[in-house]
């Protein structure tokens, strides 16, 4: 299972790539968090012909989280994004997802400044496209408190199902030429584990 429901403002539409004779686009969905003080910048990918929206539209959609790895200049680059056909969700949510898969990497348990335990891990998720193609994605996740301890106790290779939200955060990256670049990273914040 790999399904996410999002709502937000459709921005930064641009060409992504061709696969065969099908043109793909990418865009950002600016999703306000509950409470309205923060927002997530969610990267979207889609087949151009499925998009009926324009820059700035407020939209609701379902999709699935995917990862794409590329290698250039002796560096690995992993992109995490939501692939969508712009299907309307049955239930409205700013940001809600359900994922299943196997834990393939767990970092050490850490503690926040207030003493809350947390752990980062990678979930390997497999989905099949409508035409039967298998897609493997490796999705970064974080969980806190009892869920963090549960992930540690389950260990690598455990099969789990998680419910959570897909979040972004910006960070500064120092480039080889000395310049500073702002980048956006994505991860799943786990709310519950089955």
What mean pLDDT value characterizes the chain? Answer: 91
pLDDT at 76 over 90: no
* Model confidence pLDDT, tens digit, residues 113-124: 999 999 999 999
CB 31 within 8 A of CB 6: yes
pTM of the complete model:
0.87
Instruction: Please report which helix (H) or strand (E) contains residue 12, including its range.
Output: strand 2-19
pLDDT at 55 over 80: yes
Query: Mind giving me the DSSP string for 28-52?
Result: EEEEEPTTSS-EEEEEEEEEGGG--
Q: Domain residues for 141?
A: 2-193
Confidence at residue 34, expressed as pLDDT on a 0 to 100 scale:
76
pLDDT at 129 over 80: no
The secondary structure of 107-140, three-state, reads CCCEECCCCCEEEEEEEEEEEECCCCCEEEEEEE
- pLDDT band at residue 91, thresholds of 50, 70 and 90? confident
Confidence at residue 192, expressed as pLDDT on a 0 to 100 scale:
95
Instruction: Please report which helix (H) or strand (E) contains residue 146, including its range.
Output: helix 145-154
Question: Any idea what the CATH number is for the domain that residue 104 is in?
Answer: 2.40.50.140
pLDDT at 50 over 90: yes
Residue in the structure block whose two tokens are 């497999």: 126
pLDDT at 8 over 90: yes
pLDDT at 174 over 90: no
Q: If you ran DSSP here, which 8-state letter would residue 88 be given?
A: P
pLDDT at 37 over 80: no
Count structural domains, the chain: 1
pLDDT at 140 over 80: yes
Name, in order, each residue with C-beta under 8 angstroms of 133's C-beta and a sequence gap of 6 or more. none
CA dihedral 99, 165, 112, 105 (to 10 degrees): 20
């Amino acid at each position: 299972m790999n399904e996410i429901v999002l709502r937000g403002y459709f921005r930064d539409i641009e060409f992504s790539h061709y696969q065969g004779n099908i043109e793909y686009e990418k865009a950002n969905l600016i999703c306000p968090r509950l409470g309205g003080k923060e927002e997530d910048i969610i990267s979207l990918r889609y087949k151009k012909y499925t998009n009926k929206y324009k820059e700035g539209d407020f939209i609701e959609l379902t999709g699935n989280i995917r990862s794409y790895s590329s290698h250039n200049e002796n560096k690995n680059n992993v992109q995490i994004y939501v692939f969508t056909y712009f299907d309307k969700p049955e239930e409205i949510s700013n940001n809600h997802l359900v994922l299943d898969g196997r834990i393939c990497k767990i970092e050490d348990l850490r503690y926040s400044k207030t003493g809350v335990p947390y752990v980062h891990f990678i979930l390997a998720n497999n989905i099949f496209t409508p035409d039967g193609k298998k897609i493997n994605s490796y999705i970064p996740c974080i969980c806190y408190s009892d869920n963090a301890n549960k992930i540690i106790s389950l260990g690598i290779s455990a099969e789990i199902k998680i419910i959570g939200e897909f979040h972004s955060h910006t960070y500064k990256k120092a480039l080889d030429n000395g310049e500073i670049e702002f980048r956006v990273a994505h991860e799943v914040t786990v709310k519950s584990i089955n």
